Amino acid sequence: MVRNTHPTGYPSIVTEIQRRDYDQHKLLPDMHPVLARVFAARDITSKAQLEHGFQQLLPFHLLQHSHQAALLLHEMLARQQRILIVGDFDADGATSCALAVRCLRAMGAAHVDYLVPNRFEYGYGLTPEIVHVALQYRPHLIVTVDNGIASFEGVAAAKVQGVRVLVTDHHLPGASLPAADVIVNPNQPGDTFPSKHLAGVGVIFYVMLALRAHLRELNWFAQHGIAEPNLAHYLDLVALGTVADVVPLDQNNRILVAQGLARIRAQRCCAGITALLTVARREPGHITAADLGFAAGPRLNAAGRMEDMRHGIECLLQDDNDQALHYARELDRMNHDRRRIEAEMQAQALAVLAHMQTDQLPTGVCLYDPAWHQGVIGILASRIKDRLHRPVIVFADANDDELKGSGRSVAGLHLRDVLDTVATQHPEVLRKFGGHAMAAGLTLRKEHLPRFQEAFDREVTRLLGPEALSSVLHSDGELQARDFSMELAQLIRYAAPWGQHFPEPVFDGEFIVVQQRVLGEKHLKLVLRPAAGNALVDAIAFNAEAHLPVLAERVRIAYQLDVNHYQGRANLQLLVREILSDA
């Protein structure tokens, strides 16, 4: 274990580097020994667990109520009735919405449209206010994607108007369920679907698999002169939404992401995803899951954060390359605005925290400023959580008397459960809330913020011990000098879709600093030599302000092996995750 404390001007945290354990007897034969130990440390014991073929995907009939959803959708198609997709305003919601619209149209739906609540006017989910707007489309069926499991009032409002409702969602349900016609959610009570980590786009994809199978049994496509759609064509959307929503990459999700990445690399993806990668200066032929998560996803999310997610959905629905690029450039502009606003908010938040001593810092941190942008508070909560390594909720004004909060948690604390406990103990404080273990949203009246802060900190303190407040970076050990090679970097890059709960390998070791220069006042461009070797290797340390102006001649770092593609050339590069010691 290596500890590193950052002198950052705000309450400092300790980063612990822990080596991953792996069973020597479970190493995979006929595989590069470094990659074999990486997989063994992630509980991979057979090559079958690394198979990413479509045939290995869990069958749709295991997902509860998927058949009932198919029957309901078939009824709409057979009667040519109007279907309205109601989505969420993040990347998962946008990809879910685009996939549902594309698939239903491909299967013969003549009247399918979509509606996404503007987060600044209506908030999240199928609310009665959104149902009122939805009625302008005169739908016979509302299909929610990536939302709806907590929309009791909205579902009831739709039913009163004679509109049927199909809820497809993946968020955790409460003690009861809304009175929808059909609910498809792997996390609802009684559902035995083996993968509980489907993103919203994964759930609607499974519903479309069930619908196609049902229509195939009825000879629907031949009877209506429709080419039976190959649903694998839509896995680029599934991959983007799954990675962007940061759901755990269990084997089933890895299959979905791997298949989508393969289509994107082969340039057989939708025009919108190609355009998003173009404006992000990523080469489709070399992309990884990280490119979806850190390049395409943020630009898509920017629409919902800054303006209206229709921009993002329209980008994903375009078949014309020029039109898709037009929308992608708009999304890129919004993302630049988001980054500027985020930087300003982060500086303000850190200025507040800088006046606190470590022992004054709450275990559960709540931050609020009336000038903060409601669309960016989730990102700010994530940034501050990463710096302080404790649960953080950031609030912004929703209207004159109401606040909206977005929270991020740390390992070992289920954020939604904490909010549920606070709501039970103080039923008058929280107006509504929802989310996951690691992320959640909530609404409360301004006057109740101090009471919530106290109750939240008390519950978090009760659940988290002091040891949980140290940042832990897991390492896959040291590399020998011969392992600093393009061969190993390429093997790691494409061995699997890396992501949440299946992290990309991180290594640690000592290096001699041969050259160093500062880029953009906060990044370090390095040439390093392994302490036990002679070869030189390029490295980049982003956001290394704490270690400027210069490093010592010898450093210990945690890093990832990476392949840097630039102007048609590829070279080995270390991505520095942590500078553990520069003395």
- Over residues 11-19, the mean pLDDT reads 66
Give the three-class secondary structure for 442. strand
| Cβ-based neighbours of 577, under 8 Å, separated by 6 or more | 473, 506, 557, 558, 559, 560
Nearest to 563 by CA among 500, 487, 505: 487
Identical fold between 61-333 and 477-581: no
Share of the chain above pLDDT 70, in %: 96
The string of pLDDT tens digits covering residues 217-258 is: 999 999 999 999 999 999 999 999 999 998 999 999 999 999
Q: Where are the alpha helices (DSSP H) in 179-248?
A: 200-217, 220-223, 235-244
Q: Is 290 left (phi over 0), alpha (psi -120 to 50) or beta?
A: alpha
pLDDT over 70 at 8, yes or no: no
Fold of 356-466: Diaminopimelate Epimerase; Chain A, domain 1 (3.10.310)
Q: Is the peptide bond before 549 cis (omega within 30 degrees of 0)?
A: yes
Give the integer Cα–Cα distance in Å for 384 and 113: 38
Q: Is 520 left (phi over 0), alpha (psi -120 to 50) or beta?
A: left
561: exposed, middle or buried (Cβ count in 10 Å: 0-12, 13-18, 19+): buried
Residue that wins the pLDDT comparison between 550 and 128: 128
The string of pLDDT tens digits covering residues 175-233 is: 899 999 999 999 999 999 999 999 999 999 999 999 999 999 999 999 999 999 999 99
What average pLDDT does the chain have? 91
Q: Are 558 and 534 spatial neighbours (Cβ–Cβ below 8 Å)?
A: no
Q: How do beta strands 83-86 and 182-184 pair?
A: unpaired
The string of pLDDT tens digits covering residues 417-473 is: 999 999 999 999 998 888 778 888 999 999 999 999 999 999 999 998 777 777 788
Mean pLDDT is lowest, of 330-334, 400-404, 484-488, for 400-404
pLDDT at 356 (0 to 100): 77
Fold of 477-581: OB fold (Dihydrolipoamide Acetyltransferase, E2P) (2.40.50)
Sign of CA dihedral 373, 376, 381, 383: negative
pLDDT over 90 at 119, yes or no: no
Give the integer Cα–Cα distance in Å for 222 and 1: 64
Mean pLDDT is lowest, of 14-18, 111-115, 268-272, for 14-18
Other CB atoms within 10 Å distance of the CB of residue 359: 6
pLDDT over 60 at 271, yes or no: yes
Write down the domain spans for the chain.
Answer: 61-333, 356-466, 477-581
Give the integer Cα–Cα distance in Å for 554 and 510: 7
pLDDT at 1 (0 to 100): 43
Q: Which CATH number fits domain 61-333: 3.40.50.360, 3.40.50.2300, 3.90.1640.30, 3.40.50.200?
A: 3.90.1640.30
Give the three-class secondary structure for 488. helix
The string of pLDDT tens digits covering residues 321-374 is: 999 999 999 999 999 999 999 999 999 999 988 887 666 789 999 999 999 999
| Cα Rg of the chain, angstroms | 24
